[in-house]
Structures are given as structure tokens and as C-alpha cells.
Amino acid sequence: MNLLFRLFLSFNSTSLILVIYLVKSGKVLNNLHPLIAKMPRFGSFIIYFLVPVILTQISLFISNWLDKDSIEATNGESAIKDIEEANNAFLPSYLVYFFVALSVPNCETLVFVFLILFLFTFLSQTLYFNPLFLIFGYRFFYLTTLNNVKVFLITKKRLKNPNKLNFPSLRRITDFTFIDTKKQKT
């Protein structure tokens, strides 16, 4: 299950490059079926965007079957000494994806570039930042443990105090990346 989840995360994290390219190229779905032949161009663009959103929702559903883990307090003391928000740290990477998608001249080049990005994202096995998680209310944090190990956490919680962290639904994606699957915000 972990492999499937990481494949989904890698694809979802890089799929917006495909959406931007399709929109830039003016590709529309009108020729696929007579029922959608009269759909306006922006209808195709909305569908292109909804595909990664739906796939991201599926990956969040799959996350419930990842291995459970814990990075919380042991012996009454927190194992986390520092919390750093990571939402804005990834903006430059995604701006580069957008500029690459806008500058790719043809579909063959796009496929090649996308496969390279997908491969690097998958093999890095460290962070699976997906900006579409923001739509679902997730936030991204770096947590530093007492042993000075920095881990990446995807959660809906607003983290402020490292001494009061509690993740009863924490799942391990990789050795340094976790997702909190608790449904309600706290």
C-alpha cells in the first residue's frame, strides 16, 4: 500500500505541470464525445484541474491504510523540540513547474520533462508536497526531534506548541515523511 500511495503522491505532486500545459496549448475535450461538443473551452480547463484534485482525494483516502506510527511524547516529554511551517517553502518549486509547463514547445517534450520530474519526486522519498492538499485543508510542517532529526508532517492541525503535540492517527509515508489522517481540525 505504501508504494501505491507514494506513486499517487508523486503523480499528484507533479500533475499540475500537465494541467498548465494543456491550458496553455488550448487543448479542449470537445471532440471526444457529441454530448460535450458544445462545452466552452474553460469547461475543458476545469476538467483538467479536477482530475488531479480527484486523484489527490483518492490518495488521501489511501493514506488511511499506511502503517501507523508515532513521533509524540515518550515518558511524558515531547519528542519534538521545534516546529517550522513549510507551506511557503515549496512555492518557488511550483513556480518553476508552471514556467516549465508554459515554455514546453510540444507534447513529446512535456512527457519527457514530466517523467523526469515524476521520477525525481518519487525517488527522493523525502517530501511529497502537493499544493492540492491545501484545498483539502492540510498544512505542511517541518518538525525537529530532540535528536535533531527533521521530519516532514502533513496535517490539518495548526501546530504551535511542540510540547502539546498529539497525533493518534499518524501514518508513515517514508522514514522522514508523515501524514496525520485525523479527519477533524483541532
Cα torsion 146, 148, 152, 156 to 10°: value is 30
Q: What pLDDT shows up at residue 84?
A: 94
Angle at 116 between CA 17 and CA 60, to 5 degrees: 60
Angle at 148 between CA 144 and CA 154, to 5 degrees: 25
Q: What pLDDT shows up at residue 185?
A: 46
Q: What pLDDT shows up at residue 109?
A: 95
The domain spans of the chain are 2-180
The ranges of the chain with pLDDT < 70 are 72-77, 125-127, 183-186
Q: What pLDDT shows up at residue 186?
A: 43
Give the span between the Cα atoms of 3 and 31, in whole angstroms: 36
Give the span between the Cα atoms of 158 and 144, in whole angstroms: 16
Give the span between the Cα atoms of 184 and 186, in whole angstroms: 6
Give the span between the Cα atoms of 85 and 83, in whole angstroms: 7
What is the pTM assigned to this prediction? 0.87
Q: What pLDDT shows up at residue 167?
A: 85
8-29 pLDDT, tens digit each: 888 998 999 999 999 999 988 8
